[in-house]
Amino acid sequence: MGRFLLSRLVDGIVAIWGVVTIVFVVSRLLGDPAILLLPVGATEEQLQQLRAGLGLDQPIWEQYLTFLGGVVRGDFGNSFQFMRPALSVVLERMPATMALAESALLVGVVLGAVAGSMAALFRGTIVEGVVMLLALLGQATPVFWLGLLLILLFAVDLGLLPTGGYEGPASLILPALTLGTFTTASIARLLRSGMLDVMKDDHVRTARAKGLLPGTVFLWHVARNSLIPVVTMVGILAGELLGGSVVTETVFSWPGVGRLIVQAMEAKDFPVVQAGVMVIATIFVVINLFVDLLYGLLDPRIRARR
Amino acid sequence: MALLAIEDLSVGFAREGRFARVIPGLTYGVEAGETLGIVGESGSGKSVHALALLGLLPQPPGRILGGRAVFDGHDLLAMSEARLRDLRGGRIGMIFQDPMTALNPVLTIGRQIAEPLMRHKAMSMRQALDRAADLLALVGIRDGARRLSQYPHEFSGGMRQRVMIAIAISCEPALLIADEPTTALDVTVQGQILDLMAELRDRLRMTMVWITHDMGVVAGIADTIQVMYAGRIMERGPVDAVFANPRSAYTYGLLQSLPHGSRPPGGRLMQIPGCPPDMFAPPPGDPFAPRNPFATPRCHVEAPPLRPVPDSVPGHMVAAWYDLPRLLA
Amino acid sequence: MREVWRALTRRSGWLGLLGATLLVVLVLLAIFGPWLDLPDPTRTNLRARMVAPTLSWFSLGAHPLGTDQLGRDILSRIIAGSRVTLMVAGAAVLLGGVLGTLLGLISGYFGGWVDRILMRLVDIQLALPLMLLALMVVAALGPSLRNLVGVLALVSWVRYARIVRGQVLAVREREFVQSARAIGASHPRIILRHILPNVLTPALVVATLELARVIVLEAGLSFLGLGIQPPDPSWGRMLADGRTYISSAWWIITFPGLALMLTVLAVNLLGDWLRDFFDPRLAVR
Ligand SMILES: Nc1ncnc2c1ncn2[C@@H]1O[C@H](COP(=O)(O)OP(=O)(O)O)[C@@H](O)[C@H]1O
Ligand code: SF4
Ligand SMILES: [Mg+2]
């Protein structure tokens, strides 16, 4: 187990290093940041000065090492917009993003688990049909459109909830629902098919042969065994969730990292973009590390193989 | 009085719009204290009828078409699912063929043995686990207390089957149905499990229905043998009488295919040629007739009833239109 | 063919059939849109701004789905948008598919360090949410149609590479490959003649699943203003523009989104069915 943990940790670090490299390469594709930074009509001398200041006159690999060193120290340079370290600008927005992503995940897991279980328990009935239809629609509905529809319905027409912003729990409801829908739908579908498979397994027949109550059979011998693929799915969905948060935050004017990145892009504030992308990629890697650990907890066979 | 009396049990399966009566109407009884060995090639409806008794038949595709199965004075097929649940794992235990898949891979062995105890004996988890450790010792697994916290993958096939046995006998059932409990195991382990079951049966005074496709296994454990084919009883009677004096061509064939041991003198080692009938299009007469070299013309059009064998011990019954000993002579 | 038909008409198959039908209708609309007698999707008419849908039981009316804030006909714009969307997504999926399949073939066939490096690359890219990667690259290169296709292809190659590699590993040791090798066939010949045919089916399944993903991603980028640029109509952009008028003209955001959802639904249904039909093991999404 210890060795396994270590090797997953190394994998994670390599992945993050890869992301750093991608970010560096992309940032060099931008062309000369010095030209972008200075007002139009700056002199050649001013340009040279700025390039030297940014280290752009160094060979490319040296720039890369400098960049890498900066990332390790958490130094992405100063935000062009805010004139403060980019990382701290990003980290200030983290609580909002985490609140949104966590609520969305909660919505997704709880609703998805309930819906998927219902569909499996009531297979062949209208319940299964309705759940599966909704799940198909949920997977096909793009987040930003869903967000707009919910605003239209609950904020504009019914006036029940705010259209956006970040004031109190009420303003969290619509964004969380919006972002959580895809997760809900995916988990519901996966859990249903997983449970239907498990229900056919021999060990469920054994459980019934023991005379166990239906609730016990379902919880301990069906649901418990269907969790593993769901956990994998949560790891994958975390990516969709973090990516989706960019759009959702924009739709709902939610002051999180996603919206910050989009705004920074429009303002060509690259240090903030880089810091934001790095932070989100790191969260994603950490989540998947947890998912791997969770596997071992859920499945003793996997634990043994490690 | 019979502990279990099955009357005219009839079970079918629907598949792709067609329907097969896999068990066309089965009648037999098991006396208290008796061990009944049910033998037959795979596909002859042995498992299906046992699952149907306990309400474990997957429905759909399966369907119980009729009949009664009176256990201890009550019809299992007519009682509510809740009452049947009280019997399952309590007064009726069941063991399945494949120990590799019959246990839940993600729960500890301890929990899996404790479950029926908590359900039927109103034990707490603590008490049930203590009892589970004793049960492991009873089925010959040493170091039970430690092994309770292990998972099925940490046990060998034979060990897992011992765990299954521990689960099945945990509530000291009056009736134990064992569906090919040794088929999936290798030969040496088979013998050990067989001995263990015989010992437990005697110690707990259980009535037992032992399902197998191996005549040799039946000889070792059963009092009565019942040979089944295509959902019907071909022959039935005390083990000694049937082995010494088989009256159905099918029984005769099964005995011939035994590699060693109790075989009528002069028999050669053989396999019964052909394969069981397609239950979606069953032959009109005796289902075994197409494979039976002794079949008479009547066999092909009319299924014979199960009748006592006139010149044998009481309880020896056969379904045949011909007289096998005369044909063999 | 008969087998395909049987599978399509089975209970689980009619959903796939529905998806395929929807998709065919969409593609036909996209192709023959310009020949339909509809208003010019880019012609503004400030006197007919934000006209509510005129669709009724008996007639289409002048603007069946209404007009937008500049008085452009929404139905024409949706149909014109489907052309752009389907072209961009189709090109991206094709490009990503060819690239991913090729790299997957190489990775699986040669194994060793090539394989290790390529699969590491896959892992790394998967550690970056698609949306962010696409955002960064588009922001860097500028939002042109060509860049958009490139980015979307870049974003989707990994899934092909993974599945194809796995399939190659399964096929590589089979007899026909071994015997081809024994005769002394060259590597490219073995890969193209003997292995490629065996990986096309899974690649096709991935392509359908990717198509849905890429369509949504494109719409998302356009929504953020980084995808398809005006005056080309695009569903994502229409949604972004309509946002401002959400309280006065619900139709501006409703219909383009509906079109987007139906398209994705159609592709998903078809993809699910293809996956179940060809290989249920690909179910890892
Ligand atoms: N789930 C099922 N669906 C359809 N047919 C089944 C099913 N289970 C069993 N059968 C059929 O019932 C018959 C008896 O099977 P079974 O009782 O398992 O045989 P045995 O246990 O004697 O080997 C076989 O013909 C088999 O094809
Ligand atoms: S009844 Fe006829 S077919 Fe059936 S076993 Fe006897 S002889 Fe054979
Ligand atoms: Mg059986």
Q: Higher pLDDT residue, C272 or C65? A: C272
State the ipTM, two decimals.
0.83
Residues of chain A neighbouring B104 (CB-CB closer than 8 A): 203, 206-207, 220-221, 224-225
Q: Are residues B233 and B314 in the same domain?
A: yes
pLDDT (tens digit, 9 = 90+) per residue, B264-297? 444 443 466 667 677 677 777 777 777 777 777 7
Q: Are residues B217 and B247 in the same domain?
A: no
State whether B172 and B243 are in the same domain: no
pLDDT digits (tens, 9 = 90+) for B233-261: 889 989 888 888 888 878 887 877 766 55
| pLDDT, position A252 | 83
Could you tell me if C15 and C259 are in contact, meaning their C-beta atoms sit under 8 angstroms apart?
no
B184 lies in the same domain as B280:
no
User: Comparing A250-259, A287-296, C117-126, C169-178, which segment has the lowest mean pLDDT?
Assistant: C169-178
> What residues of B are in the A interface, CB distance below 8 Å?
51, 54, 56, 58, 85-90, 93-94, 96, 98, 101-107, 115-116, 119-120, 151, 153-154, 164, 167
B7 and B153 part of one domain: yes
Residues B200 and B245 reside in one and the same domain: no
Counting from 1 in the atom list of ligand 2, the atom nearest the Cα of B298 is 2
Q: Which residue has a Cα nearest atom 25 of ligand 1?
A: B43
- What percentage of chain B reaches a pLDDT higher than 70? 92
What is the reported pLDDT for A204? Answer: 92
Residue B303 DSSP symbol: P
Whether residue B250 has its Cβ less than 6 Å from ligand 2:
yes
Are B54 and B125 found together in one domain? yes
Distance from CA of C40 to the nearest CA of A (A): 25
- A202 near B CB under 8 A: yes
Among A287-296, B71-80, B149-158, C88-97, name the one with the lowest average pLDDT: A287-296
Q: Is residue B264 part of a domain?
A: no
Chains B and C make contact, 3+ CB pairs within 8 Å: no
Out of B46-60, B109-123, B304-318, C45-59, least confident range: C45-59
Cα of A221 to nearest chain B Cα, Å: 7
Residues B207, B238 within the same domain = no
Taking 80 as the threshold, does the pLDDT of residue C223 lie above it?
yes
In whole angstroms, what is the distance from residue B91 CA to residue A117 CA? Answer: 32
Q: Under a CB-based contact definition with an 8 Å cutoff, are residues B214 and B230 in contact? A: no
Domain extents for chain A? 2-73, 91-267
pLDDT of residue C92: 87
What kind and span of H or E run contains A49? helix A44-54
Q: Of the ranges A37-46, B175-184, C79-88, C214-223, which one carries the lowest mean pLDDT score?
A: A37-46
Cis peptide before C231 (omega within 30 of 0): yes
pLDDT at B112: 92
CATH number of A91-267: 1.10.3720.10
Segment B46-56 shows an average pLDDT of: 90
Question: What part of C 237-266 touches A (C-beta under 8 Å)?
Answer: 239, 242-243, 246-247, 250, 253-254, 257, 260-262, 264-265
- The fraction of chain C above a pLDDT of 70, given in percent, is 76
Predicted local confidence at residue B225, as pLDDT = 92
d(CA C220, CA B183): 59
Domain that holds residue B289: 229-258+269-328
CATH number of the domain enclosing B132: 3.40.50.300
Alpha carbon of B56 to those of C172, C173, C186: distances in Å? Answer: 44, 43, 58
| Whole-number pLDDT of residue A49 | 75
**Atom number in ligand 2 closest to CA B286:** 4
**Cα–Cα distance measured from residue B230 to residue C217, given in angstroms and rounded to the nearest whole number:** 59
Q: What total number of domains does chain C contain? A: 1
Q: Please check whether residue B316 lies inside any domain of the structure.
A: yes
Question: Are both B137 and B70 inside the same structural domain?
Answer: yes
C44 pLDDT tier (thresholds 50, 70, 90): low
- pLDDT above 70 (res B110): yes
Ligand (nearest to CA of B287): 2
- A251 and chain C: CB distance < 8 Å anywhere? yes
Top pLDDT among C188 and A139 is at A139
Judge if B195 and B277 occupy the same domain: no
Query: Taking each helix axis from N to C terminus, what angle separates C112-126 and A2-29, rounded to the nearest 10 degrees?
Result: 80
Do the domain assignments include residue B93? yes
Least confident segment among B4-18, B76-90, C73-87:
C73-87
The average confidence (pLDDT) of chain B is: 83
Q: Is B253 in the pocket of ligand 2 (CB under 6 A)?
A: no
Using CA atoms, how far apart are residues B161 and B156, in angstroms rounded to an integer? Answer: 9
> Are residues B65 and B188 located together in one domain of the fold?
yes
How far is residue C216's CA from residue C46's CA, in Å, rounded to a whole number?
Answer: 31
Which residue in the block uniquely carries the two structure tokens 């099925």? B152
Q: Which two tokens stand for residue B145?
A: 């207390």
Clarify whether residues B106 and B68 are in a common domain.
yes
Q: What is the pLDDT of residue C52?
A: 63
Q: pLDDT band at residue A261, thresholds of 50, 70 and 90?
A: confident
Q: How far is the CA of B234 from the centre of ligand 2 (A)?
A: 8
Q: What is the CA radius of gyration of chain B?
A: 20
Q: What is the mean pLDDT of chain C?
A: 76
Question: What pLDDT is recorded for position B268?
Answer: 41
Look at residue C154 and tell me if it is in a domain: yes
Whether pLDDT at A300 is above 70: yes
- DSSP per-residue string spanning chain C: -HHHHHHHHSTTHHHHHHHHHHHHHHHHHHHHGGGSS---TT---GGGTTPPP---SS---SSTT-B-TT--BHHHHHHHHHHHHHHHHHHHHHHHHHHHHHHHHHHHHH-HHHHHHHHHHHHHHHTS-HHHHHHHHHHHH---HHHHHHHHHHHHHHHHHHHHHHHHHHHHTSHHHHHHHHHT--HHHIIIIIIHHHHHHHHHHHHHHHHHHHHHHHHHHHHTTSSSPTTS--HHHHHHHHHTTTTT-HHHHHHHHHHHHHHHHHHHHHHHHHHHHH-GGGG--
- Between C122 and A167, residue with greater pLDDT: C122
Residue C203 belongs to domain spanning: 15-29+63-278
Q: What is the pLDDT of residue B259?
A: 64
* pLDDT the model gives residue B263: 44
> Average of pLDDT values for C18-22?
81
Across the beta sheet with B224-229, what order do the strands follow? B92-95, B175-179, B207-212, B35-39, B224-229, B232-238, B317-318, B307-308
User: Residue A207: pLDDT band by 50, 70, 90 thresholds?
Assistant: very high
Q: Any idea which ligand is nearest the CA of B22?
A: 1
Distance (angstroms) between ligand 3 centre and the Cα of C276 equals 30
In a domain, C192, yes or no: yes
Q: Is the pLDDT of residue B70 over 70?
A: yes
* CB contact (8 A) between residue A145 and residue C253: yes
Containing A56, the helix (H) or strand (E) segment is none
Q: Which residue from C76, C263, C132, C149 is spatially nearest to A145, judged by alpha carbons?
A: C263
Q: Which of A183-187, B58-62, C57-61 has the lowest mean pLDDT?
A: C57-61
Q: Does position B208 have pLDDT exceeding 90, yes or no?
A: yes
Q: Which ligand is nearest to the CA of B246?
A: 2
CATH number where C241 lies: 1.10.3720.10
More confident residue, C193 or B212: B212
Of the two residues A186 and C65, the one the predictor is more confident about is A186
What would the mean pLDDT of A40-57 be, rounded to a whole number? 70
Instruction: Give the model's pLDDT for residue C283.
Output: 44
- HSE on the CB side for B9, CA within 13 Å? 29
**Closest ligand 2 atom number to CA of residue B324:** 7
Q: Do A298 and B106 touch (CB under 8 A)?
A: yes
Using the beta-carbon criterion (under 8 Å), do A209 and B103 form an inter-chain contact? Answer: no
Q: Does residue B209 register a pLDDT over 90?
A: yes
pLDDT band, residue C45 (cuts 50/70/90): low
Atom of ligand 1 nearest to the CA of B279: 25
Average pLDDT over residues C102-119: 84
Measure in Å the smallest separation between the Cα of A294 and chain B Cα atoms: 13
Using a threshold of 3 CB pairs under 8 A, tell whether chains A and B touch: yes
Q: Per the domain annotation, does C131 fall within a domain?
A: yes
Residue C46: inside a domain: no
- C9: pLDDT confidence band, cut at 50, 70 and 90? low
Question: pLDDT category, C221, cuts 50, 70, 90?
Answer: confident
Residues 6+ apart with CB under 8 A from C192: none
Query: What chains are in contact with B, requiring at least 3 Cβ pairs below 8 Å?
Result: A
Binary contact (C253, A149; C-beta < 8 A):
yes
Say yes or no for a CB contact (<8 Å) between A19 and C128.
yes
Using an 8 Å CB-CB cutoff, list chain B residues near A201: 101
